[in-house]
Structure 1
């Protein structure tokens, strides 16, 4: 995937006298999707490639409050436990505080270290400082297409994002960039419930719009055949596609729609895409439902409405 994206990005950056402008081509892509010539997924991918150059790193990074990092004085045993718990392959290492990132720890380096020192049981107590690698640092204002090219050139899959004062703003991975083009990339460690998180209000949920429409319908017990309305065919794959289908234009923050007994309010829009919504479920008399799945509220307040 990254090779295909790199080819498209290089083509996009070639400065020649155009027979058609970038804006005209983007318009044709939008029209193609509206007329049914382009499937939603192809439309999203093509639009995503064009938008890479207009997107900066801070828009795609994982914020420092949500990133997983390891103290420099951690042992191999500590790191192995955290890797197993979080299902990650890399994580930043910091000295004292997160603003002082000293490197990146790779899971495969831990495995190589364990194999090399298997004859000595004390390897579990070895410091991660022995095997961490140098980190790549980038400003949060850097265009994503430039970062993508640099990461490929330097064979890096993770970079530490710095704010204007040199502090740690977050972390960005190659997967974060590719997801801007192809949508959510899920692996065996990803939990579908992460896309639906309860707020502090009864029967109210914070939802990532990249969630597959089948998972959304299953959670709220909505018949998939009825969500498009007026017996129309379901020609979208995500909750974001459902919202665009009903609103008929680029949604704005605060826009609302009702699907069955689920009231959806747009919470976050970025670059013409709906990112997050708040969904409230009402009983027939307008009161909150009582028998919805009860998900655990995540720590550090991540489920509360910003």
Structure 2
């Protein structure tokens, strides 16, 4: 039957099944064409909303580099090699993370990675003196993996799986520390973040809260934020207002933490252990 079709026919006008077959046989097709096939499958109710989101994420992840998804250095929770065990334990408990870079003599020297479970396995309630405990902790610091900012995310995921590694330190072209990236960061680009049931609803980047203030999503582009609030935050270092605000905090803030910038009172309204997701913004004239 295919012999009866004109050979000059536009591939975009092939039937859905024909294009689906083409996508998985022969030479690789254009990514846009593959995305169109997946979207048509969703329209034809062959795949549901969740499957569509995952398939789109899996296709698009090859366009991302580590720099696009990493946790910036300013937001890293790190341990220093000369800190006491009590200081380490306090950071582990307060942050809720499971893995921590261990810094050496300088902030650009990462000597290893500490897993929280390894620290707990030492039995911190044991009757060790500080020196003995410090030696014991040194023995459980694991080797660290370094990856360049330009590494593709799909390649990073493959390396994580092959090496059974869950975290890597990101370095720039001069081997300076840019941030860190985890396997969770990669997977979230594919399956999306686990949120509340209303995630399917469209959320405005900047929306009135009904009390004279605004709820602003952390991913709001800086230009949009500046236009709305008549501010002049630079977009040279960060693309979103979340990056600017977290940089000024100097850490990953928790819910209800506040900061004042350019006559704006900013309160964190939604956050997890790794990043902020939304803020409440009030101006000086807000009651």
Structure-2-length-normalised TM-score: 0.60
Structure 1 residue 304, shift from structure 2 partner: 9.8
For structure 1, list consecutive stretches of 5 or more residues without a partner in the other structure: 1-14, 186-210, 215-236, 244-254, 270-274, 279-293
Partner of 2:5: none
Structure 1 residue 131, shift from structure 2 partner: 2.2
State the alpha-carbon separation in 1 of the partners of residues 47 and 36 from structure 2. 13
Greater gyration radius? 2
Contact 1:44 1:182 in 2 (8 A): yes
Structure 1 residue 267, shift from structure 2 partner: 2.1
Partner of 1:190: none
Q: Does 1:120 align with 2:113?
A: no
Structure-to-structure mapping, 1:1-306, within 5 angstroms: 17-18=26-27, 21-33=30-42, 38-114=47-123, 118-120=126-128, 122=130, 125-126=133-134, 128-185=137-194, 212=196, 214=198, 237-238=199-200, 242-243=202-203, 267-268=220-221, 295-297=256-258
Task: Find the residue that maps to 1:65 and give its secondary structure.
Answer: helix
Task: Find the residue that maps to 2:33 and give its secondary structure.
Answer: helix
Structure 1 residue 22, shift from structure 2 partner: 3.8
Contact 2:205 2:220 in 1 (8 A): no
State the alpha-carbon separation in 1 of the partners of residues 260 and 134 from structure 2. 30
Cα deviations across residues 108-167 of structure 1 (Å, max 9, x unaligned)? Answer: 21122227x935354785254332111000001000111111111111100000011110
Contact 2:56 2:190 in 1 (8 A): yes
Structure-1-length-normalised TM-score: 0.57
Tell me the number of residue pairs that the alignment of Structure 1 and Structure 2 aligns: 211
In structure 2, do the counterparts of structure 1 residues 144 and 112 end up closer, same or farther at CA, with 3 Å as the change threshold?
same
More off after superposition, 16-25 vs 138-147: 16-25
Cα deviations across residues 192-234 of structure 1 (Å, max 9, x unaligned)? Answer: xxxxxxxxxxxxxxxxxxx5364xxxxxxxxxxxxxxxxxxxx
Contact 2:147 2:169 in 1 (8 A): yes
Cα RMSD for the two superposed structures: 3.9
Contact 2:168 2:182 in 1 (8 A): yes
Structure 1 residue 182, shift from structure 2 partner: 1.1
Partner of 2:246: none
For structure 2, list consecutive stretches of 5 or more residues without a partner in the other structure: 1-23, 223-238, 243-254, 267-275, 282-287
